[in-house]
């Protein structure tokens, strides 16, 4: 009887330890107080002049770009067989920052208001020429978010519905390095078929504006969405 009791004690301890290990430590940081100006973008002619299918508000987190110009997203929807020759050429030549969305997503470019004129930014090279050198944590965060399909997450916390792959999860942060900054960001695999992972992505941006992904790993997901396919 004593042996059986001891066995149940061991099982209970193992279950308890497993439960404790399934809840990672969360390290939270305050988000930067950044804003984006869009007050000059009120003319629908921008859609026609720059070939945008839609003008969208960017994340406020790109408000750290320096110089600080009014800026919006110029979104181009590309549907195979229905795109104009001009848009097809844009996609083929890589004249965009990134693609976001599923089958009916958009290619992202930007329009800024500079010296009394609207200017289309098509590529990372355009971004680099305009905003490098990158000289502050806020600017490095904004620069990478403008260039890449990544997200800044803050106030992350434990959710019992999720399954976790790591022991520690830390909010977005920026750390200075000798030749630039390391920016800790996230990628949410929303589209396609499950599992739909949230991954943490560490990106290095040099002072002269070159971006390099240093590491990426899957950290958590909602298993209830494993069988879900999102177009």
Instruction: Specify whether the CB–CB gap between 71 and 58 falls below 8 A.
Output: yes
Domain-embedded: residue 61: yes
Q: What is the pLDDT along the chain (231 residues), one digit of tens a residue?
A: 545 555 555 455 445 544 444 699 999 999 999 999 998 987 777 887 888 989 999 999 999 999 999 999 999 987 766 667 777 777 787 789 999 987 778 999 999 999 999 999 999 999 999 999 999 999 999 999 999 999 999 999 999 999 999 999 999 999 999 999 999 999 999 888 989 999 999 999 999 999 999 999 999 999 998 888 887
Domain-embedded: residue 124: yes
Q: Name which of 98, 107, 102 is nearest 144 in CA terms.
A: 98
Helix (H, G, I), strand (E, B) or coil at 77: strand
Domain-embedded: residue 57: yes
Domain count, the chain: 1
Looking at residue 42, what DSSP letter applies? -
Domain-embedded: residue 70: yes
- The whole-model pTM stands at 0.87
> Where does residue 145 rank: exposed (0-12), middle (13-18), buried (19+ CB within 10 A)?
buried
Q: Name which of 159, 222, 213, 158 is nearest 186 in CA terms.
A: 213
Instruction: Specify whether the CB–CB gap between 144 and 150 falls below 8 A.
Output: yes
Tens digit of pLDDT for each residue in 128-175?
A: 999 999 999 999 999 999 999 999 999 999 999 999 999 999 999 999
Pairing of strands 168-170, 25-27: parallel
**Which residue has 């999720």 as its token pair?**
162
Domain-embedded: residue 160: no
**Which residue has 């406020």 as its token pair?**
60
Domain-embedded: residue 150: no
Give the domain extent around 92.
Answer: 45-133
Q: How many CB atoms lie within 10 A of CB 18?
A: 9
């Amino acid at each position: 009887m004593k042996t059986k009791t001891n066995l149940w004690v061991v099982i209970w301890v193992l279950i308890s330890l497993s439960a404790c290990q399934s809840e990672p430590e969360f390290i939270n940081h305050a988000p930067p107080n950044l804003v984006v100006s869009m007050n000059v973008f009120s003319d629908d002619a921008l859609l026609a002049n720059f070939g945008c299918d839609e003008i969208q508000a960017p994340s406020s987190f790109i408000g750290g770009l320096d110089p600080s110009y009014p800026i919006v997203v110029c979104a181009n929807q590309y549907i195979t067989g229905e795109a104009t020759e001009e848009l097809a050429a844009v996609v083929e030549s890589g004249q965009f920052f990134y693609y976001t969305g599923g089958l009916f997503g958009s290619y992202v470019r930007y329009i800024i208001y500079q010296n009394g004129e609207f200017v289309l930014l098509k590529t990372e090279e355009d971004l680099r020429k305009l905003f490098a050198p990158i000289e502050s944590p806020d600017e490095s965060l904004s620069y990478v978010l403008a260039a890449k399909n990544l997200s800044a997450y803050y106030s992350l916390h434990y959710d019992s519905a999720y399954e976790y792959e790591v022991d520690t999860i830390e909010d977005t942060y920026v750390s200075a390095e000798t030749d630039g900054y390391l920016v800790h960001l996230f990628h949410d695999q929303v589209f396609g078929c499950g599992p739909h992972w949230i991954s943490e992505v560490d990106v290095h941006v040099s002072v002269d504006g070159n971006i390099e992904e240093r590491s990426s790993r899957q950290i958590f997901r909602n298993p209830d969405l494993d069988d879900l396919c999102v177009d």
